[in-house]
A = this chain, B = another copy of it.
């Protein structure tokens, strides 16, 4: 066996994680050029696999997008509640939650931008409306609890969640496209603004 073919073989069987490569390539491409411009062929090329290989791991394009989305959602959810054990005051926990969230965003640019871009699209709603409902349960519980204790405004839960997260997400997008830069200070300001808007 020649040197070259050895390397090729080695690489081939080292790639236990073709699926992850594909997922990563897909998310990055979609962020760069948009879903409509992201063909399966381009994903395969970027992932360094053959076009057909994608179909070893995903049923079709929709299935892939759905799985991408749910995987990202899952990762975000997990990180958000890190260190939140309900033993502290709601305000402290609220601020920790937001810090976790920002932390995740900053360290997972691709995931965040992908998530943000499609969370409200008809497509995602069609593909995984149900699964997403279930996933937000812990978050809704947190706000419900704060509302019951009179710490948050006595208003629709959706309002509380929305006023907490959407401005932050919007700023994160600006952060990533260079229109804005996160700093210790303005992160603190943002958290205060969130708190100001929802506290009773």
Contact = CB atoms under 8 A, between A and B. Distances in A.
Interface of A: 31-37, 116-117, 120-123, 125, 153, 155-156, 158-159, 162-163, 166-167, 169-171, 173-174, 177, 179-180, 186, 189-190, 193-194, 196-198
Nearest to A157: B180
Contacts of A173: 120
- Closest CB pairs A-B (n = 9): A197-B197, A193-B197, A34-B122, A166-B170, A163-B167, A166-B166, A162-B170, A36-B36, A34-B123
A177 B126 CA distance: 12
A196 B32 CA distance: 36
What copy number does this chain have within its complex?
Answer: 4
A167 B165 CA distance: 8
A159 to B, nearest CB: 7
A173 B122 CA distance: 11
Contacts of A37: 123
Given A153-B193, A158-B179, A162-B171, 19 more contacts: A32-B122, A34-B121, A36-B36, A36-B123, A117-B120, A120-B173, A153-B189, A155-B186, A156-B180, A156-B186, A158-B171, A159-B189, A162-B174, A166-B166, A166-B167, A166-B169, A167-B167, A193-B197, A196-B196
